[in-house]
Chains A and B, each alone.
Chain A
Amino acid sequence: MDATLIKNFLNTTAKVMMEEKDHLIEADSIVGDGDLGLTMSDGFTAASDAIKENPIQDCGKLLYTAGKAMSTAVPSTMGTLMASGLMSAGKTLKGKTELTREDILSLFDAFLSGVIHLGKAKQGEKTFIDGFAPGCDALHATADVQLKESAKAAADASMKGYLGTKGMLAIHGRAATRGEASRALLDPGAYVGALLFKGFYLSLE
């Protein structure tokens, strides 16, 4: 597995975000300011475009470059968090032109820690992390099965994580101003987390 895996992952994720644009806008209009669908489709498209034709073989540098493109294209809260995830994954994989299974686990773990580092949120606080972290856990738990199968397990787990945000109390962002009433809603950020693993799984097909 080489740089192609990174390019395919971001390209497919950009397509997934595009397909889900209206759904994200709708979900975000209820709890945020409604631009999540635009920022995620624009942001992942910019990230993917930045490396699509890039001759660099260093997987870390590609991810870092994609993250910078994301942060420039969509400096919104979520855009910057995703950029931080990509750049953090990039720093972790710097110098690698070939990726082992271990490296793929590191990629997603570093993405998660990049988001946590910037956003200062914890699991259970109704954010992106609640959709994304279960996917990372599932990747680890299935590290001995075929990659595609493992990615499918991660996609399923992260979707389940997203659905589990109903009932959680929002602590961050505009959703938090609703207090207890926020419990009834699903978190659109967590949906983005689930869509990232969906993108990863589909990119392996």
Chain B
Amino acid sequence: MKKIINKPENYVKEMLEGLYVAHPDLITYTAGDLHCLVTANKKEGKVGIATGGGSGHLPLFLGYVGKGMLDACSVGDVFQSPSAEQMLACTKYINSGAGVLYIYGNYNGDIFNFDMAAEQADFEEDIRVESVVAGDDVASAAPTKPGEKNTRRGVAGIVFVYKCAGAAADAMLDLDEVKRIALKACANVRTMGVALTPCIVPRVGKPGFSIADDEMEIGMGIHGETGIRRGKLEPADQIAEEMVVKILADIPFSQGDEVAVMVNGLGATPLDEQYIIVRKVDELLKKAGLKIHRYYVGEYATSLEMAGISISLLKLDEELKKYLDAPAQTPFFVQL
């Protein structure tokens, strides 16, 4: 294991200490617990938005706490859910009477803890909490039929959900409305990923799975969960095409629809390679008759030092476009 760390067991704590040192104008913590990260600019009367999840995915999840996006994030150990208690502490801090919306990914540990935190917020604190679970990974399960529960994993597309819901809350919409916007963003976002190398959880010290030097896995999850297929590493254009085709087959769209596109590096893929993908994605989307409203390129949701990328599409209507375009300022996301 080659990592720039001190003791593996201090990995998350020291990462958080660094973040608080670097961004005191935007974030702080509550309940005396570094893992309960909250905004330093609480806006009175606004619906609070909280997220949470395991560490190892920076800038996800905590990197989007700030102005115009999220108000709190409870931070777990690497790839592990934070506790309901930590979520509850964040909930109490960010509630200013308008209630709190939880937005998090579709993982059992997170679901159980957020459900429990929501129940405690109601039972112990009389805080109204609503939840939206993001599940945008096309590779992880078949599309949900009406009335069925979405079993897809949540991956990088959740950033779009944060952005739209965050802007809606910032515009002082009420809890039901903010939730509606979040659900709408969830329903219109799709992601596909590809992984080239495994990652090492610091406390484990060795790769969590193996993949040959000349191989890639299309659709692998952000913790190394099985994807759609494993095969020989292909040129960038072919990889981009396979992913875009799968996404477009999944998201109902018509000619002329507008989309926002995110090309996201998983941790060890340089920006150069991400832009090589962008070039091809642009060509494919235009050929499919879509209008591209804006691009987001860079690292938005990573998996430690995993090499690979993901592509997310958010299909827009006027409402989502308005909230996507609203300004925001967080440690990892600045939009004027």
A-side residues, CB < 8 A to B, are 68, 71-72, 75-77, 80-81, 83-84, 87, 91, 118-119, 172-173, 177
Given A76-B80, A177-B226, A81 contacting B85 (CB threshold 8 A):
no
Given contacts A80-B113, A84-B112, A118-B112, contact A71 B226 (CB under 8 A): no
Find chain B residues with CB under 8 A from A119 CB. Answer: 112
Residues in chain B near residue A81, CB distance under 8 A: 112
Q: Is there contact, CB below 8 Å, between A71 and B108?
A: no
List 25 contacting pairs A-B, 8 Å CB cutoff, sorted by A: A71-B85, A71-B113, A75-B80, A75-B83, A75-B84, A75-B86, A75-B109, A75-B113, A77-B81, A77-B109, A80-B84, A80-B109, A80-B113, A80-B116, A81-B112, A83-B116, A84-B112, A84-B116, A87-B116, A91-B123, A118-B112, A118-B115, A119-B112, A173-B108, A177-B226
Tell me the minimal C-beta distance from B134 to chain A in angstroms.
18
Residues of B contacting A118 in the complex (Cβ-Cβ under 8 angstroms): 112, 115-116
- Interface bits B79-108 vs A (CB < 8 Å: 1, else 0): 011111110000000000000000000001
User: In angstroms, how far is the closest chain B Cβ from the Cβ of A164?
Assistant: 23
| B226-A80 in contact (CB<8A) | no
New A-B pairs, 20, CB < 8 Å, besides A72-B86, A84-B112, A84-B116: A71-B85, A71-B116, A75-B80, A75-B86, A75-B109, A75-B113, A76-B81, A77-B81, A80-B81, A80-B112, A80-B113, A80-B116, A81-B112, A83-B84, A83-B116, A87-B116, A118-B112, A172-B108, A173-B108, A177-B226
Number of A-B contacts (CB under 8 A): 46
In the complex, B308 has a CB within 8 A of chain A: no
The residue in chain A whose Cβ has the minimal distance to the Cβ of B108 is A77
Which single residue of chain B is at the shortest CB-CB distance from A172?
Answer: B108
Chain A contacts for B76, CB-based, 8 A: 75
Minimal beta-carbon separation of A104 from chain B (angstroms): 24
What is the bound-complex CA distance between A119 and B111, given in angstroms?
Answer: 9
Cβ contacts under 8 Å, A84 to chain B: 112, 116
On chain B, the number of residues with a Cβ less than 8 Å from chain A's Cβ atoms is 16
Residues in chain A near residue B123, CB distance under 8 A: 91
Task: Collect the chain B residues with CB atoms within 8 Å of residue A75's CB.
Answer: 76, 80-84, 86, 109, 113
Task: Output the nearest chain B residue to A88 by Cβ-Cβ distance.
Answer: B119
| Residues of B contacting A71 in the complex (Cβ-Cβ under 8 angstroms) | 83-85, 113, 116
Closest to B123 in A: A91
In the complex, chain A residues whose CB is within 8 Å of the CB of B109: 75-77, 80
Nearest residue (CB) in B for A176 is B151
For B226, list chain A residues within 8 Å (CB): 177
Q: Mark B15-39, 1 if CB is under 8 A from A, else 0.
A: 0000000000000000000000000
The distance from the CB of A89 to the nearest CB of chain B, in whole angstroms, is 14
**How distant is A30 from chain B, measured CB to nearest CB, in Å?**
16
Q: How far is the CA of A75 from the CA of B115 in the complex (A)?
A: 12
Q: Which chain A residue shows the least CB distance to B84?
A: A71
Min CB distance B222 to A, Å, is 15
Residues of the A chain whose Cβ atoms lie less than 8 Å from the Cβ of B80 = 75-76
A72 / chain B contacts, CB cutoff of 8 Å: 83-86
CB proximity of A47 to chain B, nearest CB, Å: 13
Closest to B81 in A: A75
Q: How close is B52's CB to chain A, nearest CB, in angstroms?
A: 10
Collect the chain B residues with CB atoms within 8 Å of residue A87's CB: 116
Q: Which residue of B lies closest to A67 (CB)?
A: B116
Do the beta carbons of A77 and B85 come within 8 Å of each other? Answer: no
B83, B86, B226: which has the most chain A beta carbons within 10 Å? B83
In the bound complex, residues from chain A placing their C-beta under 8 Å from that of B86 are 72, 75
From the candidates B82, B83, B84, B112, name the one contacting A77 in the complex (CB within 8 A).
B112
Complex CA gap A84/B115 in Å reads 10
Q: How far is the CA of A87 from the CA of B84 in the complex (A)?
A: 12
A83 proximity list for chain B (CB < 8 A): 84, 116
Q: Which of A68, A72, A80, A87: most chain B Cβ within 10 A?
A: A80
In the docked arrangement, what's the CA distance between A149 and B45, Å? Answer: 58
In the complex, what residue of chain B is closest to A71 when comparing beta carbons?
Answer: B84
Q: Which of B84, B86, B109, B123: most chain A Cβ within 10 A?
A: B84
CB under 8 Å from chain A, chain B span 32-91: 76, 80-86
A71 to B86, CA, bound (A): 10
The 6 A-B pairs at the shortest CB distance, nearest first, are namely A75-B83, A80-B112, A72-B85, A71-B84, A77-B108, A77-B109
Q: How far is the CB of A82 from chain B (nearest CB, A)?
A: 10
Complex: A63 Cα to B83 Cα, angstroms: 18
Closest chain B residue to A119, Cβ basis: B112
Residue of B nearest to A73 (CB): B83
Complex contacts, B116 vs chain A, CB 8 Å: 71, 80, 83-84, 87, 118
Q: Give CA–CA (A76, B83) in the complex, Å.
A: 8
When distances are taken between beta carbons in the complex, the residues of chain B under 8 Å from A177 are 226
